Amino acid sequence: MRDTILLTIFDAFEEWSAPIPKACVKGCAACCTRHVTLTALEGERILGFIRREGLERWFADRLQIDRLTTTPQLTTNEYAEACLQGIETSDSGDPGNFEPCPFLDKNCCVIYPVRPFGCRCFASEKVCRPGEAAILSDISVAASTAMMQIIEHLGQHEYWGNMLDVLPALCDISSYKDIAGLFADPSMIIKARLRTRRARPLPGFLLLAEEQEKISPLFKAIFSTRIDGKRIEDILNGRMPTPLPL
């Protein structure tokens, strides 16, 4: 059920954001860095894809390349919670790691069908040049942040963090032991686990009134969708489906 909710969010966001001008084309990958965050739920979709495609050896090798990651100090919902409570959050001063993502091959994403929301929502209105930031409208950023909050809520209590930490951390689960066995340095799993955070429930959105109005069709498309006869809004507001133990 959680996977179906996740896919509903991906599809609804894609449809809602379609009219926003984008310069992004296949093979343009300056934005594909080692700075992507995701939930365990999204990580498990990637691991399932790796196995279905027979990419276990490639995946294990790619994860071991110069694994310098950056670790956010707060999850998106922890940050929102602090803001809603009027608590100042300090900038970690972490410059981020903007080296190319290890899942790129000839400037194309090998795991494209299962890329996490953090990759799906990223687009620029003008072609990014080296050293220049992407240009995103305020409404795109607001909607993407709200979607990330819902996805984190969906994956609450599980791993949340840099993609290059969450993926090896998940390999500690018995169903992925075969992939874990391919790592030359098995200690990378425990080191990655220690760098992850736990996803938190949604404390509320950080949206201005005018942003809420523009994003309301997106919320409506997601929340009114029914899964097994239940509206997603009711599922998210009620007791969440029990996640797999980590």
| Residue at 56: amino acid letter | E
The CB density around residue 66, as the number of other CB atoms within 10 Å, is 8
In angstroms, what is the minimal distance from the CB of 116 to ligand SF4?
7
**C-beta of 71: minimal distance to ligand SF4 in Å?**
17
Judged by CB under 6 A, which of 82, 109, 182, 221 binds ligand SF4?
A: 109
Amino acid at residue number 231: R
Task: Find, among 223, 143, 188, 162, the residue nearest to 39 by Cα.
Answer: 162
Residue 205 neighbours by CB distance under 10 Å? 17
From the CB of 8, what's the least distance to ligand SF4, in Å? 20
Q: Which helix (H) or strand (E) holds 105?
A: strand 104-105
**Number of continuous H segments (helices) and E segments (strands) in the chain:** 11, 7
Mask for 1-40, x = binds ligand SF4 (CB under 6 A) = ----------------------xx---x-xxx---x----
Give the contact letters, 119-158, x = binds to ligand SF4 (CB under 6 A), - = no. x--xxx--xx-----x------------------------
Q: What whole-number distance in Å separates Cα of residue 43 and Cα of residue 57?
A: 17
Nearer to ligand SF4, 134 or 221 (CB): 134
Size of the site for ligand SF4 (CB under 6 A): 20
Cα–Cα dist 150/143, whole Å: 11
What residues make contact with ligand SF4 under the rule CB under 6 A? 23-24, 28, 30-32, 36, 101, 103-104, 109, 111, 115, 119, 122-124, 127-128, 134
